[in-house]
Chains A and B, each alone.
Chain A
Amino acid sequence: SQELEQSPQSLIVQEGKNLTINCTSSKTLYGLYWYKQKYGEGLIFLMMLQKGGEEKSHEKITAKLDEKKQQSSLHITASQPSHAGIYLCGADGQAGTALIFGKGTTLSVSS
């Protein structure tokens, strides 16, 4: 079965610093989703990537899909306290099954 590995597991950065979170799949990625979660709450959709080399941005968050490496990265520029939370990557399972997810990366931003 397909698995998603996220790194790092947790991250503490100073406000204003840049950071990158990675998501690596054990199998070919057909669609890769990034979600953000506040502790104990639901997931909020950030971005979806489908094609190799595709890159999308929303405010200060940029995500890229490298299809050859079966990997996606999420980059935050000039981090702010509002960026703190858990970032999860999700991928389409095989044969049209529901999304599977990584364990998440917990981001803390110190002011």
Chain B
Amino acid sequence: ETGVTQTPRHLVMGMTNKKSLKCEQHLGHNAMYWYKQSAKKPLELMFVYSLEERVENNSVPSRFSPECPNSSHLFLHLHTLQPEDSALYLCASSQEGAGLNEKLFFGSGTQLSVL
């Protein structure tokens, strides 16, 4: 138990589907993150939220839509995805947010396959 829970663990979806990934942190942290991990590539930062406000958005396609209703929950809404979006999506949290020396705590990830 890492303190950061992601659901579902695995997801298979068609290109026309709409689905959502959920992340919940039980650590009392103020910042939450979405990273994408594809084979043979570094982890790609997608979104950062600090105190429920989006503070970083790294040119992510609009078919990915984040939502942070409170500091404990983070969602990633998916629609009309492409096969190249298949990857492991990792959620993380940190005490404050995107500052120096901020250790990240990761969830177990959602393995997404787009058919």
Does B21 sit at the interface, judged by CB under 8 A? Answer: no
Partner of A41, one of B48, B92, B99, B108: B108
Does B107 sit at the interface, judged by CB under 8 A? Answer: yes
Q: How many inter-chain residue pairs (CB < 8 Å) link A and B?
A: 66
Among listed B38-46, B64-72, B75-83, interface-contacting one? B38-46
A side interface size, CB within 8 A: 26
Q: Are A40's CB and B111's CB within 8 A? A: yes
Q: Are B100's CB and A45's CB within 8 A? A: no
Q: Are B41's CB and A92's CB within 8 A? A: no
Interface string of B71-109 (1 = CB under 8 A from A): 000000000000000001010100000111111111111
Task: Please measure, in the bound complex, the distance between the C-alpha atom of A47 and the C-alpha atom of B99, giving whole angstroms.
Answer: 17
Does B56 sit at the interface, judged by CB under 8 A? Answer: yes
B side interface size, CB within 8 A: 27
**Known contacts A42-B107, A42-B109, A45-B105; A98 and B100 CB within 8 A of each other:** no
Q: Are B103's CB and A40's CB within 8 A? A: no
Binding site for A on B (CB under 8 A): 2, 4, 6, 33, 40-43, 45, 48, 56, 88, 90, 92, 98-109, 111
Binding site for B on A (CB under 8 A): 3-4, 30-31, 33, 35, 40-45, 48, 50, 88, 90, 92, 96-104
